[in-house]
Amino acid sequence: MPVIASFTLEEFLMEIAARNPGQPEFLQAVHEAAKPIHELVATEPKYREYEIMRRLAEPDRIVSFRVCWEDDTGRVRVNRGWRVQMNNAIGPYKGGIRFHRNVNESVLKFLAFEQTLKNSLTGLPMGGGKGGADFDPHGRSEREVMRFCQAFMTELYPHIGEDTDVPAGDIGVGEREIGFMFGQWKRITRRHTGVLTGKGLEYGGSRIRAEATGYGCVFFMQHMLAHHGRELAGRTCAVSGAGNVAQYCVEKLIQLGARVVTMSDSDGFIHVPAGITPEQLAWIKMLKNERRGRIAECAAQFSGVVYAAGRRAWDVPCELAFPCATQNELGAGDAARLAANGCLAVAEGANMPCAPEAVAAFRAGGVLFGPGKAANAGGVAVSGLEMSQNSAHLSWSGEELQELLVGIMHGIHARCVEYGAGKEGPVDYVRGANLAGFVKVAEAMLAYGVV
């Protein structure tokens, strides 16, 4: 007779904390998902019999490696790299690579855990993974970044493949870095297949991939508002970050008639009371993607732009907020201020940018809240479409892909509503996203038995 264990949520969380000491980001991500999932698991003995919850919180495997490279002065540098292969129940591991000085195993496990549920929520056949290195690209020359990417890939390549694990970009890894890594993978393996996504259009990349996360986040916000009888056009929006996600979030908001009054980087934020114009956004893209400069430079370049050093954007009154920079960039105080200033809704463009206390404050203040695993899933969804195009040796048009992205974000919203709508009140998108993501992965895991 199989043993069907029962455990309380608190027992589960204590056990996970004891198994993962010194990993606060990972514990935070598991905590957020565990409450709704535990409620479901309590009513479904099959999930308890097969220990789906415990298995989901334990990576399939983690590889870590030394990355040695030479800087421009000839000095040997040593970094640490990782790939967390979290869960491949519904498809090959899929998730980005992050280069940032704060990268460690906890951060990558949190991202890989989120990614597993997010990828499931897209409806596409992708498992969850994440990788990266504690390499800080700021201030590094292009050749240094190239040598680092090549050294990183030399260690990573045995662990990835178009049907096993397909990495992509994330913080500090854009099209340039993907190009360097794909070039090295191709040199080592002598193959040209879709082993990475986020590639340049000339060598197997997908149209709309660069835009997908930011655009998708805005589409998700539109759905949240429409479902609760509101519109996006004409709204005042605060966006944080100035990287890939933030740039295209701002672009789509402007296209849809919203007024975006902030953007930021890790040094501070710009306030543009009249709203960022398309010309200003084009300059910011050039600044960040080509010159690799600081957001502060906008204030000297344009009149009507105020720069606030060392501060975050959340004091600025807005109706919609889009945190698009990094984890835990929006705390309880920020959330309370946003709610007090009349914020209606928040969609997370970044992964876990809102601290748990901030999410609670939004809930208490009646602010609609779209968690990252739903709101920013457009990026990985188009990565999935890049994989499909690569394996079919085809290239779809921008219009076709944007239509697919619109449909996927619609589907994600619908699944969140299916699992997150209560009898009354606003939809609980945290509950909806976690449960909808969980059920598909859990059913696949049940099909395999104990493996």
Residues acting as catalytic residues: 130
User: 323 to each of 17, 18, 223, 374, 376, how far by Cα in Å?
Assistant: 27, 31, 18, 14, 11
Closest CA to 305 of 316, 318, 291: 316
Q: How far is the CB of 115 from ligand NDP (least distance, A)?
A: 9
Number of Cα atoms under 13 Å in the Cβ half of residue 223: 25
258-268 as b/e: b if 16+ CB within 10 A: bbbbbbbbeeb
Alpha helices (H) in 270-344, listed in sequence order: 278-286, 297-301, 332-340
Nearer Cβ to ligand NDP (167/172): 172
| Cβ closest to ligand NDP, residue 34 vs residue 374 | 374
88 vs 264, which CB is nearer to ligand NDP? 264
Give the DSSP letter string of 402-425.
HHHHHHHHHHHHHHHHHHH--SSS
- Contact status, residue 33 vs residue 113, Cβ threshold 8 Å: yes
Residue 46 CA to residue 202 CA, distance in Å, equals 48
CB of 24 or CB of 426, closer to ligand NDP: 24
**Which amino acid would we find at residue 148?**
F
Q: What is the DSSP string of 70-95?
A: E-TTS-EEEEEEEEEEEE-SSSSEEE
CB 349, min distance to ligand NDP, A: 6
> What are the residues facing 128 on neighbouring strands?
87
Nearer to ligand NDP, 41 or 137 (CB): 137
Q: Give the single-character DSSP code of 159.
A: G
Residue 108 or 339 having the CB closest to ligand NDP: 108
CB within 8 Å of 179: residues ≥ 6 apart: 199, 200, 203
Residue 239 CB, nearest approach to ligand NDP (Å): 10
Taking the complex as a whole, the smallest distance from the CB of residue 50 to ligand NDP amounts, in Å, to 30
Min dist CB 178 to ligand NDP, Å, is: 11
The set of residues, in sequence order, having a beta carbon less than 8 Å from that of 345 and lying 6+ positions away, is: 221, 224, 225, 230, 319, 320, 321, 367, 368, 369, 370
**How are strands ordered across the β-sheet holding 306-309?**
306-309, 268-271, 259-265, 236-239, 320-322, 345-347, 368-370
Q: Which residue is nearest to ligand NDP (CB)?
A: 243
Residues that bind ligand NDP (CB under 6 A): 169-172, 174, 213, 241-246, 265-267, 324-326, 329, 349-351, 376, 379
Q: Which CB, 211 or 428, lies closer to ligand NDP?
A: 211
Q: How far is the CB of 74 from ligand NDP (least distance, A)?
A: 27
Question: What's the CA gap between 197 and 200, in Å, rounded?
Answer: 9
- Sheet hosting strand 93-99, strand order edge to edge: 61-70, 76-87, 128-133, 93-99, 165-168
Q: Are the beta carbons of 448 and 89 closer than 8 angstroms?
A: yes
Measure the CA–CA gap between 29 and 27, rounded to whole angstroms. 5
Q: Which is nearer to ligand NDP, 23 or 351 (CB)?
A: 351
Smallest distance from ligand NDP to CB 297, Å: 12
